Homo-oligomer: A and B are copies of this chain.
Amino acid sequence: MLRLSPPGNLRLNQTNIFDINFGGTEANVAVSLAGLGIHSAYMTRLPDNMIGRSALEFLRKWGVDTSMISLGGSRMGLYYLENGASFRGSQVIYDRAGSAVSEAELEDFDFEEALRGASWLHVSGITPALSDSCCEIVRELLILARKLNITTSFDLNYRKKLWDSDKATQVTLDLVKNVDIIMGNEEDAFNMLGIKSSFSHDIVEERYKRVSEEIFTKISGLKYFITTLRESISADVNRWSGMIYDGSQFYRSKVYDINVIDRVGAGDAFCAGFIYEFLRTTDIKKSIDFAAAASAFKHTIIGDVNVFSENEIRSLLDGNIYGRINR
């Protein structure tokens, strides 16, 4: 998606310029992984005009393999982002109806080719909500990935403007049969998996644990449920961490106190961080720690995508949290 935002703290009706960024949940994951040195390909459909080409060039800049992107369709989906401050929260106005990707068809892609040699398939719960054919594409990809023994992850990402909870739950519960790792938060679990936790604990971590356990009860074959825990003090100050449940044990990462520059895309950065470290180590604790550090960095830069080197992330993990100048 094309992201249009007023510079700095201006409101949408105060500006006469928009800063341009590109993003989208799977794209963000792909960029982060490419930045960490992983061969990372992104499959989507972009309009065959200068705006679609700009998006493609943006991805290419950050090292994403764009050879599987199909060109065509009507328009570029976009969203407007107004940055918040203090108690004034950031505002997102989506405008993605009729986007090129929502018009994508199964025959626009060659799935066998796309997954050849792949070790991981990551999809977002936004995609099946875009159109029936998008849903079909996700389903076919997940089935094929399972057949090829490719690890699959699914980021729930419930978007209430795209579908209602009932439809979302029905579709998602079917899709995640072929998924190894589910990512999401409490609200996603409620809306996309029908997890209606009876346990209303004041402590977020406790509530999250109950949700995790219910998910494992409901979805057989799931390997991990991962979530991020965000405590919003204000639009400017957030506390941030990640957690994982493997069906028997919980692990929570270090908590980061963050002066927020831009929080959009943090969840995607978290997914990418997890995938990267899990591919390298298969150690879930290390992976959650790496994911939390990588995505903490996301909050300190503008834009949906998060590009930090492994060295930078490891340095944060090593405790270099004081923001000293590096000459």
- How many copies of this kind of chain does the complex include? 6
The 3 closest A-B pairs by CB, nearest first: A235-B323, A61-B61, A12-B50
Known: A20-B18, A61-B58, A235-B323. A51 touches B12 (CB 8 A): yes
A63 at interface by CB-CB < 8 Å: yes
Count of chain A residues with Cβ under 8 Å from any Cβ of B?
A: 78
Give Cα distance in the complex from A235 to B290, angstroms. 21
B11 near A50: Cβ-Cβ < 8 Å: yes
A20 near B16: Cβ-Cβ < 8 Å: yes
Seed contacts A49-B93, A87-B323, A88-B312; 13 additional CB < 8 Å A-B pairs: A9-B300, A11-B301, A17-B20, A51-B80, A85-B261, A85-B323, A86-B258, A88-B323, A89-B323, A92-B326, A94-B327, A233-B322, A264-B325
User: Which of B90, B261, B264 lies in contact with A9, CB distance below 8 A?
Assistant: B261
Which B residues touch A325, using CB under 8 A? 84, 89-92, 263-264
* Cβ < 8 Å to B, chain A residues 6-35: 7-21
* Cβ < 8 Å to B, chain A residues 78-136: 80, 82, 84-95, 97-98
For the complex formed, measure the closest distance between the CB of A36 and the CB atoms of chain B, giving whole angstroms.
14
For the complex formed, measure the closest distance between the CB of A25 and the CB atoms of chain B, giving whole angstroms.
12
Interface of A is mostly: loop
Give Cα distance in the complex from A163 to B281, angstroms. 39
Give Cα distance in the complex from A239 to B60, angstroms. 36
**Looking across the interface, which residue of chain B has its beta carbon closest to that of A15?**
B20
Interface string of A235-274 (1 = CB under 8 A from B): 1100000000000000000001111010110000000000
A234 at interface by CB-CB < 8 Å: yes
User: Which of B18, B74, B85, B263 lies in contact with A300, CB distance below 8 A?
Assistant: B85
* Cβ < 8 Å to B, chain A residues 27-71: 49-51, 53-54, 57-58, 60-63
**Looking across the interface, which residue of chain B has its beta carbon closest to that of A293?**
B87
Known: A57-B62, A76-B95, A98-B97. A84 touches B323 (CB 8 A): yes
For the complex formed, measure the closest distance between the CB of A62 and the CB atoms of chain B, giving whole angstroms.
7
User: Which of B53, B92, B261, B263 lies in contact with A13, CB distance below 8 A?
Assistant: B53
Give Cα distance in the complex from A302 to B49, angstroms. 20
**Looking across the interface, which residue of chain B has its beta carbon closest to that of A92?**
B327
* Cβ < 8 Å to B, chain A residues 276-327: 296-297, 299-303, 307, 312, 316, 320-327
A4 at interface by CB-CB < 8 Å: yes
A170 at interface by CB-CB < 8 Å: no
